[in-house]
Amino acid sequence: MRPADLCNYPSSWFSGGSNAVSDIVISSRIRLARNVAGYEFLPCLSVERQQQLHDRLKEVLLSIDLGEKVWCVDIDHASDVERNLLTERHLISRRHAKGKGPRSVVLAGDESFTAMINEEDHLRMQAYAAGLDLDACWGRLGRIDDLIEEKIDYAFDRQLGYLTACPTNLGTGLRVSVMLHLPALKMTGQIEKFITAAHDCDMAVRGLFGEGTDAIGDFFQLSNQITLGSSEQQIIETFSSIIVPKIIAYETEARKSLLGKKPHALDDKIQRALGVLRNAHLISSQEALFLLSNVRLGVNLGRVKDINIATVNELFMLTQPAHLQLRAGKILDADQRDTLRAEIIRTRLSSN
Amino acid sequence: MLCQVCKERSATIHLTEIDNGQRSESHLCQQCARQQGLSIKSQVPLDELMNTLLSSQQEKASQQDKPSIAAASDHACPNCGMTLERFAKTPLLGCAHDYTEFQSELLPLIKQSHNGKSHHRGKVPTRTCEYDRNEIQRNTLRRQLDRAVKNEDYEAAAKLRDQIQALT
Domain boundaries, chain B: 1-40, 46-113, 121-168
Nearest CA in chain A to B97: A40
Q: What does the radius of gyration of chain A's CA atoms come to, in whole angstroms?
A: 21
Nearest CA in chain B to A226: B114
Distance to chain A for B94, nearest Cα, Å: 5
Mutate to test the interface with B, among A152, A160, A236 (most CBs of B within 10 A): A160
A89 and A227 inside one domain: yes
Domain boundary among A255, A279, A312: A255
Alpha-carbon distance A79 to A166, whole Å? 28
> Are B79 and B135 within 8 A, CB to CB?
yes
A239 and A278 inside one domain: no
Distance to chain B for A53, nearest Cα, Å: 14
**In the prediction, which pLDDT does A67 show?**
85
Pick B80's closest partner by Cβ from A40, A155, A170. Answer: A40
A162 and A227 inside one domain: yes
Pick A229's closest partner by Cβ from B93, B121, B142. Answer: B121
Distance to chain B for A145, nearest Cα, Å: 9
Quickly state the pLDDT bin for A336 (edges 50, 70, 90): very high
Overall number of domains in chain A: 2
B68: pLDDT strictly greater than 50? no
* Least-confidence region, from A155-159, A211-215, A245-249, B126-130: A211-215
* Least-confidence region, from A183-197, B26-40, B51-65, B113-127: B51-65
Residue A12: Cβ-neighbour burial (10 angstroms; 0-12, 13-18, 19+): middle
Alpha-carbon distance A118 to A57, whole Å? 9
Provide the 10 A C-beta neighbour count for residue A94.
15
A131 and A277 inside one domain: no
Residue type, A134: L
B37: pLDDT strictly greater than 80? no
Count interface pairs A-B at CB distance under 8 A. Answer: 135
Q: Using alpha carbons, select from B22, B66, B34, B49 the residue that is nearest to residue B114.
A: B49
Distance to chain B for A44, nearest Cα, Å: 5
In tens, the pLDDT along B106-163 reads 999 999 899 899 999 889 887 765 555 566 677 778 888 888 888 899 999 999 888 8
Is B122–A231 a contact, with Cβ atoms under 8 angstroms apart?
Answer: yes
> Are B89 and B49 within 8 A, CB to CB?
no
A137 and A222 inside one domain: yes
Pick A156's closest partner by Cβ from B95, B128, B132. Answer: B128
A74 and A209 inside one domain: yes
A28 and A79 inside one domain: yes
A289 and A209 inside one domain: no
* Most confident stretch, A9-13, A205-209, A293-297, B164-168: A293-297
A278 and A150 inside one domain: no
A50 and A91 inside one domain: yes
Q: What is the CATH number of the domain that holds A151?
A: 3.30.590.10
**In the prediction, which pLDDT does B62 show?**
53
* Residue with the larger pLDDT of the pair B132 and B32: B32
In tens, the pLDDT along A175-184 reads 999 999 999 9
CA distances from A37 to A123, A175, B64, B81, B130 (A): 12, 21, 39, 17, 10
Domain boundary among A237, A255, A273: A255
Domain boundary among A255, A280, A311: A255
Provide the 10 A C-beta neighbour count for residue A269.
20
A174: pLDDT strictly greater than 90? yes
Q: Which of chain B's residues have a Cβ under 8 Å away from the Cβ of A152?
A: none
Q: Write the CB contacts of A15 (distance below 8 Å, at least 6 apart in sequence).
A: A130, A310, A313, A314
Distance to chain A for B51, nearest Cα, Å: 15
Q: Which of chain B's residues have a Cβ under 8 Å away from the Cβ of A46?
A: 142, 146
Q: Which of helix, strand or coil describes residue A211?
A: coil
Q: Which of chain A's residues have a Cβ under 8 Å away from the Cβ of B99?
A: 157, 160, 163
* Residue with the larger pLDDT of the pair A282 and B51: A282
> Are A36 and A154 within 8 A, CB to CB?
yes
Domain, as residue range, for A331: 263-351
B49: pLDDT strictly greater than 60? yes
Distance to chain B for A142, nearest Cα, Å: 9
B74: pLDDT strictly greater than 80? no
A48 and A185 inside one domain: yes
* Least-confidence region, from A137-141, A289-293, B45-49, B123-127: B45-49
What dihedral angle (degrees, nearest 10) is formed by the CA atoms of A211, A213, A217, A220?
20
* Least-confidence region, from A47-51, A170-174, A187-191, A253-257: A187-191
Alpha-carbon distance A192 to A47, whole Å? 45
* Least-confidence region, from A201-205, A291-295, B70-74: B70-74
Is A40–B41 a contact, with Cβ atoms under 8 angstroms apart?
Answer: no
Quickly state the pLDDT bin for B71 (edges 50, 70, 90): very low
Mutate to test the interface with A, among B50, B84, B89, B114 (most CBs of A within 10 A): B114
A184 and A103 inside one domain: yes
**In the prediction, which pLDDT does B70 show?**
39
Q: Which of chain A's residues have a Cβ under 8 Å away from the Cβ of B142?
A: 46
Instruction: Mark out the alpha helices in chain A (DSSP H runs).
Output: 47-63, 80-88, 94-98, 134-149, 183-187, 191-200, 232-237, 244-261, 263-279, 285-300, 309-318, 321-328, 334-350
Task: Give me the percent of chain A exceeding a pLDDT of 90.
Answer: 68
Residue type, A55: D
